[in-house]
Amino acid sequence: MAEERLQKYLAGAGIASRRKAEALISAGRVRVNQRTVTELGTKVDPGRDLVTVDGALVSQPDQRSYYLLYKPSGCVTTASDPQGRPTAMEYLRGVPGRPFPVGRLDYDAEGALLLTDDGELANRLAHPRYGHQRVYLVKVKGDPPAEALERMKAGVRLEDGPARAIEAAVHDHADRNVWIRVVVGEGRFHLVKRLCEAVGLQVQRLFRPEFGGIGVGGLRPGKFRRLQPEEVRALRQRVGLESGTPARGPSVRELPKAARRHGHGPPAAPGAAPAPAEPGSPDEVEPRGRGAPRAGARPAAPRPGGRASRPSRPSRPSRPGGAGGRRR
């Protein structure tokens, strides 16, 4: 078989994205034929060389897996978190393959997150040079001035360099806030929020309605689905991995809306124990149906025949002066 770069081989095997595979190599966690390799330009022959990561043998999967998750707000997109916060991977616990998130979505952002073990596709979707555009709906406080949206498109200077939005326009009006549509061509850290703040807009909520032309319509936060073969083909066509014209993604009018929020924090992942309620919080109160006792209420003793009897009143002491207690 033809040789290929080690990081590309690892990404193709679904170990991680190509960028993260490079970090694994540089950290000395990858061995080729029992020899630790740290040089990124190393090439391997998949049919001849034995590659291991942290001692586990790497092999190409027989079948790729592709999933779309409605990532809820309040979870991270990494495989693990040192702070113990919920991760997006917990919602896909038990699925076949070794899918990993494509790119990132902020901790407090929600919406479309693609997970796959197709490393080459993940690399092309995440890397800015392939021109993959990301669409966001941003709920901002008040009515944004047209000048602010124009400044966002013209470009602003951020701490890590200049940045601009490809598109920035009013999308929908809420009661006291406005949803704007922002399209960017890179996945820089907190990019959309920083663009908004740079032009004086206060972000209330950040939602990604689609990724790669595939929307989260029909999914609730924390739920996912496997991509259809035609959706996978369209994704690969968008980034030049397959020939042909990709299917059109959702239009502006067809973009799904963010789900209504219920309660506090992200929904529990399948098989996860519910987080303990804070003392005195509303989560501590159990649901009560009609006729059910209130929390902490003293149970009444049952009457004969099934009804609860009233507690008897204590007898009052008689007053001096005879029966009836009336003084003469």
Based on the fold, state whether residues 46 and 83 are members of the same structural domain: no
Contact 128, 208 (CB under 8 A): no
Q: Which two tokens stand for residue 79?
A: 């495989």
Is 207 found in the same domain as 137?
yes
pLDDT digits (tens, 9 = 90+) for 80-108: 889 999 999 999 988 887 889 998 899 99
Q: How far is Cα 46 from Cα 294, in angstroms, rounded to an integer? A: 66
147/205 same-domain check: yes
pLDDT digits (tens, 9 = 90+) for 181-220: 999 999 888 999 999 999 999 999 999 999 999 999 999 9
Among 147, 176, 211, where does a domain finish? 211
Identify whether 297 is part of a domain: no
Range of the domain at 190: 133-211
Q: Is 196 a domain residue?
A: yes
Is it the case that residue 281 has pLDDT exceeding 80?
no
Note whether 32 and 93 are same-domain residues: no
State which H helix or E strand residue 137 sits in.
strand 134-141
Whole-number Å distance between alpha carbons of 250 and 225: 18
User: Does residue 53 sit in the same domain as residue 71?
Assistant: no
* 231 in the same domain as 106: yes
Would you say residue 192 lies in a domain? yes
Same domain, 24 and 148: no
Write phi, then psi, for 159 (nearest 5 degrees).
-60, -35
CATH code (residue 18): 3.10.290.10
- At 198, which CATH number? 3.30.2350.10
In this structure, the answer to whether residues 98 and 162 fall within a common structural domain is no
Are residues 138 and 9 part of one domain?
Answer: no
* pLDDT at 119 (0 to 100): 84
Instruction: Please list the active-site residues.
Output: 106
* Same structural domain, 224 and 94: yes
Position 282 pLDDT exceeds 80: no
Region for 155 from its dihedrals, namely left if φ exceeds 0, alpha if ψ lies in -120 to 50, beta otherwise: left
206 CB contacts (<8 Å, ≥6 apart)?
A: 106, 108, 109, 110, 136, 137, 138, 139, 192, 193
Q: Tell me: the pLDDT tens digits for 121-163? A: 988 898 888 888 999 999 999 999 999 999 999 999 999 999 9
Q: Is residue 118 part of a domain?
A: yes
- The CA-atom distances, in angstroms, between 9 and each of 65, 102, 119 are 17, 17, 9
Distant-in-sequence, close-in-space partners of 276: CB < 8 Å, separation ≥ 6: none
Residue 237, H or E segment: helix 229-238
**Is position 10 within any domain?**
yes
pLDDT tens, residue by residue, 11-46: 878 788 788 889 999 999 999 999 999 999 899 988
Model pTM?
A: 0.69
Report yes or no: 222 and 266 within 8 Å, Cβ to Cβ: yes
The pairing of beta strand 214-215 with beta strand 167-173: unpaired
Chain-centroid distance, C-alpha 64: 21
> Within a domain: residue 280?
no
% residues pLDDT > 70 (the chain): 80
- Is 92 contained in some domain? yes
